[in-house]
Amino acid sequence: MIPEERAIVQILSLFNRPLPIEAILVGSSKPESTVLDRIDQLVEDAIVQRLFDSDKNDYVYTLIPMARTFIYDQVSSDPGTERMLRARLQEWFEARDIKDPQDRLVIREIRQGGRASESALVDLAVGAERRGDIQTVEELFDQALSRNPKSWRAARAAAEFYRHTLKNLGAALQLYEKAAAHAPRRGPDRALIYREWGMLLRNSGAPDATDQAIEKFLVSLEEAPNDDVTIHALASMYDRRGSYKIVSDLLEPLSTHPSQKTREMTLPLLLKAYESRGEIVKAAELKQKHSDILKTSVYR
């Protein structure tokens, strides 16, 4: 057995549980390409087993029981070697190579398998974005979605990063589509995902952008019927269609909303709907009641 293979099996003999390739690389202290080549050979020789870890969405490795017993007897006969190997792995599992204290806690949990991997990676990505480390953010979101392709939280967080930081509308749309595919079947999280997906779609430039946005806003409104942001966004899309009766039905309850900002956004569009439908009395009443807001509005 060549030195690289010996290092791999020595590391694997120390534990009864399978190890990720990262731990094997650290423990063996050998070049990555060499370790990957030799571990493939050991799998082919039926000394090492390659198993798929669904939690990590990646492969892990372990020795067959007979080989573990034989190899560990050899390792334990040399206390210095065993201490050295365990010390390397302890450094890695405790994430002592990570300088940032908060990042260290998260990575420690990932390496020790104590937390949902993609959630921890998303936390790391958020921290990296705060530090302005954009390349690391992308890598961490890629890892999170690779670990758990069905994580709507990871997909939505990544979508927001591409949307606001990188200004990459195409990537953000793809990620929102992925988030929606695995979103909760009911509740506020589903409402938020579909609302923001609709916000992106309405400005996507697609031929059917308006129809697509309406479809998403309707899903959102079903879960959060009193969300004035969704109501206004939906009304804006129906205004594009010229469906002014629907616009007025949606916006009339918001015309007396306690928030002045909401009223300021609502009234010009509602006035346009009234005037477009020939509802002169309603338009006049709206102008009289809210003259100050309407005078300073964009709509004339």
- Residue 99 located in a structural domain: no
User: Which of 104-108, 191-195, 292-296 has maximum average pLDDT?
Assistant: 191-195
> What is the pTM assigned to this prediction?
0.70
Do 38 and 162 lie in one domain? The reply is no
Do 76 and 201 lie in one domain? The reply is no
- Residue 141 located in a structural domain: no
- Residue 122 located in a structural domain: no
- Where a domain ends, among 60, 93, 126? 93
Examine the pLDDT at 292 and tell me if it is beyond 70: no
Do 181 and 288 lie in one domain? The reply is yes
Residue type, 55: D
Residue bearing the bigger pLDDT, 179 or 16:
179
Do 168 and 268 lie in one domain? The reply is yes
- What pLDDT sits at residue 298? 46
Examine the pLDDT at 299 and tell me if it is beyond 80: no
- Residue 199 located in a structural domain: yes
- Where a domain ends, among 71, 93, 115? 93
- Where a domain ends, among 58, 93, 128? 93
C-alpha 152/C-alpha 156 separation (Å) is: 6
Per residue in 238-290, pLDDT tens?
Answer: 999 999 999 999 999 999 888 888 988 899 999 999 999 999 999 998 888 87
- Which residue range(s) make up the domain with 176? 151-295
Do 172 and 273 lie in one domain? The reply is yes
Per residue in 170-192, pLDDT tens?
Answer: 999 999 999 999 999 999 999 99
- What pLDDT sits at residue 300? 42
Q: Which domain CATH number covers 269?
A: 1.25.40.10
User: Is 14 in contact with 82 (CB distance < 8 Å)?
Assistant: yes
- Residue 106 located in a structural domain: no
- Of 29-38, 98-107, 174-183, give the lowest mean pLDDT range: 98-107
Do 81 and 164 lie in one domain? The reply is no
Do 155 and 68 lie in one domain? The reply is no
Q: And the tokens for 141? A: 């979101």
Domain count, the chain: 2
Q: Which domain CATH number covers 62?
A: 1.10.10.10
Output phi, psi for 226, to 5 deg: -105, 15
Do 183 and 281 lie in one domain? The reply is yes
- Residue 126 located in a structural domain: no
Do 68 and 159 lie in one domain? The reply is no
- Residue 214 located in a structural domain: yes
Do 50 and 157 lie in one domain? The reply is no
Query: Is residue 2 classed exposed, middle or buried when 0-12, 13-18 and 19+ CB atoms within 10 A define those classes?
Result: exposed
- What pLDDT sits at residue 54? 73
Do 157 and 242 lie in one domain? The reply is yes
- Residue 125 located in a structural domain: no
Q: What is the mean pLDDT of the chain?
A: 90
Q: And the tokens for 82? A: 């065993």
Do 255 and 174 lie in one domain? The reply is yes
